[in-house]
Every structure is written in C-alpha cells, then in structure tokens.
Amino acid sequence: MHTADMMIYVHPQLDETMRIDLERDLMGRFGVDSAEFEQREHPHSLKVKYDPDAVRDVDILQMVRRLDPRASVETV
C-alpha cells in the first residue's frame, strides 16, 4: 500500500469536541489510515495519513472544509 501525509490547518478556535469528531469522521473514510490533531503544540494542525490510490487529498480537504470553510493544506 502506498501512503502519503498531509497537514491540514483549521481555525485555532475549533473546539475539542469538533476536533475529535473530525478525526473520527476522517478515520472512518476508506483510504484514510489515521487523522490526528497535534493537541499540545498546535491544536489547529491535523495530520492525515492516507492511501492516494484510494482517496484524493482534495476529497479529504473538502470533508474538513464542511466544518471549517477556510481550512488550508500543506503536503508533507
């Protein structure tokens, strides 16, 4: 399996419950191995590990943008 990482930045005021729900939603998606916020240092940074053969990065970003329309991405 081929994997890739991406870092998605959301609004810093996104509350903890919303962040946890977002992690769960993304991890339930086919092709996503993990989705985890960096809770201590950067609680607005979401690292997603996924299989680009199974899911596109833009699809993952669109899922996040449903919650935060201004979310942005950086490929790691």
Assign residue 24 the CATH number of its domain: 3.30.70.100
Q: How large a percentage of the chain has pLDDT more than 70? A: 96
pLDDT tens for residues 42-72?
788 999 999 999 999 999 999 999 999 999 9
Give pLDDT, residue 71: 95
- The parent domain of residue 59 ranges over 4-75
Q: Provide the number of structural domains found in the chain.
A: 1
Question: Which of 2-6, 12-16, 36-40, 43-47 has the least mean pLDDT?
Answer: 36-40
- CA contacts within 13 A on the Cβ side of 15: 2
pTM score, whole prediction:
0.88
In this model, does residue 76 exceed pLDDT 60? Answer: no
**55: part of which helix (H) or strand (E)?**
none
Asked if residues 34 and 27 have their Cβ atoms less than 8 Å apart, the reply is yes
